[in-house]
Amino acid sequence: MNPIAVIVGKVSKMSAKVGNLRHTRTRKSLIDAFIELASEKDFEKITVLDLTERASVNRATFYAHFQDKVDLIDAVISDSATSMLEKRTEERVQFNVQFLQQLVLAVCDYHQHLKGQCKRSYMSIAPLLKEKMLEALQLYLTKSLADIYTESERQLYVPIYAAILYEAGHLWGTEQVAYNSRELAERTAKLILPY
């Protein structure tokens, strides 16, 4: 093989790695900037200019990563929902009481985490929280029920179970129930699997 072609190939691969790393760092700095700003002011009052100044990037760079600030919060919330579920279930997907309890605890963690990070904006982003966590719960439940129910049964049960699990965690996160998260998880799992 031509030695120059080998060198050009290596340089090209290194350049791609640096570009990916830069892309990841910039995206993370924008997300971090949003989280900082969300603890200081309401979501509606956060502007793209605020985000770019805090992240020390220009507007074009922001728009290379996100369509708008709603797209940014969407990414933050989606990543958070998925990571909470993965962390709680350790990616073991088996439809049983323990699995359901871990899903409720993940929703509680999700609300607690985002409530802590986005103090001022928590209530205004609550509808997005629900949407993203329901999507993540439905994926997990669909996997766990694959060998138990037919597809038409899953189409019925998955959204119902996801709604129950989400609502339990939401009630806990908004301090509307007197149970601690463990008690809540146990009681909620028994609603779905009473035996």
Distances (CA, A) of 50 to 14, 29, 77, 163, 193: 33, 13, 19, 35, 47
First CA to last CA across the chain, in angstroms? 67
- pTM for this entry: 0.75
Summarised one tens digit per residue, pLDDT across range 77-122 is 888 888 889 999 887 888 999 999 999 999 999 888 877 777 777 7
State the Rg of the chain over Cα: 21
The number of angstroms, rounded, from the C-alpha of 163 to the middle of its chain's C-alpha atoms is 16
Q: What is the pLDDT of residue 128?
A: 80
Which of 11-25, 41-55, 129-143, 165-179 has the lowest average pLDDT?
Answer: 11-25
Q: Which residue has the tokens 């290194």?
A: 14
Distances (CA, A) of 93 to 25, 111, 152, 184: 32, 22, 20, 20
Banded pLDDT at 21 (limits 50, 70, 90): low
> What pLDDT shows up at residue 2?
62
CA distance 83 to 99: 16
Task: Please identify which residue in the block is written with the tokens 């049983």.
Answer: 96
User: Which domains does the chain carry?
Assistant: 3-66 (1.10.10.60), 70-192 (1.10.357)
